[in-house]
Amino acid sequence: MTVADHDVLASWSRVGTWLTAHTRRAPARPAADTAGLDAFEADLGLPLPADLRAWWLLPDVTACYWIPGAFAPVSLDEALETHEIWLQVAEEEDDSFDESGRSESRYQREFMPIALSPGGDGLIVDLRPGDTRGAVLIWDHETWILDVPQWASVTAMLQDIAHALEAGTPVLLSHATLGGSHEPGTAVIDDALDLIWQPATVGR
């Protein structure tokens, strides 16, 4: 087991244990097969970050909306289907520019969805070379505007959520520090035993 495998598995185990103890039972996202990951990696022409690969190979990941922003983990098949749809939408759009004359962002083949919201937005991992490689960001399917990363990596996402659940402290503090638009939140369990991330009052 690699360091990435251990870190991802250990953090997910903490999250999963907390969810089992405090929320109602939810279906599980199936683990991916290595062949599917290898095929995506080969098509992309870039290696997947080790912790992203470890994420996909995790068994029995709870598929309810436990990730802040109301995102639920999806299967690799659903992720790849969503990836292809968003790429097609981007290709069909005419070039557009912002007020400064810069080309507006659009979905890239180097993005990989890992979770979806009820409204159709995605939590994606940036696979482009550069400072944000491996970072987890929100893809707004309507505005196409990328905010600063929610987390620097999949490992950071799981560690942040695990700590917040166990300690009752806010998530997304690093995102807020970077000037991100999403407020830190603390975990609350509603009457239906679902996890809700309630905005936290945190000084920036």
pLDDT, residue 103, reads 45
Residue 204 confidence (pLDDT): 40
CATH 3.40.190.10 describes domain 3-169: no
For residue 93, what pLDDT is reported? 73
Give the CA distances from residue 102 to residues 76, 96, 129, 141, 155, in Å, rounded to whole numbers and listed in that order.
Answer: 33, 8, 21, 20, 33
C-beta of residue 137 within 8 angstroms of C-beta of residue 151: no
Candidates 55, 56, 50; CA nearest to 33 is 56
CB 172 within 8 A of CB 160: yes
From CA 18, how far away is CA 158, in angstroms rounded?
Answer: 13
How far apart CA 180 and CA 55 sit, in angstroms, is: 24
pLDDT of residue 101: 42
Q: How far apart are CA 17 and CA 11, in angstroms?
A: 10
pLDDT the model gives residue 202: 52
Phi, psi of 163 (to 5 degrees): -65, -45
The secondary element (H helix, E strand) that includes residue 197 is strand 195-199
Q: What is the pLDDT of residue 5?
A: 85
Mean pLDDT by 10 residues, the chain (204 residues): 88 98 96 96 95 97 97 97 94 60 73 96 96 96 90 98 98 95 95 95 52
Q: What is the pLDDT of residue 95?
A: 57
Residue type for position 118: P
Q: Which pair of tokens denotes residue 114?
A: 């890992």
**Can you give the pTM of this predicted structure?**
0.92
pLDDT (0 to 100) of residue 193: 97
What local confidence, expressed as pLDDT, does residue 104 receive? 56
Handedness of CA 60, 123, 180, 202 (dihedral sign): negative
pLDDT of res. 203: 47
What is the per-residue pLDDT for 96? 53
Which of 175, 183, 189 is CA-nearest to residue 202?
A: 183
Which token pair is 82?
């969503």
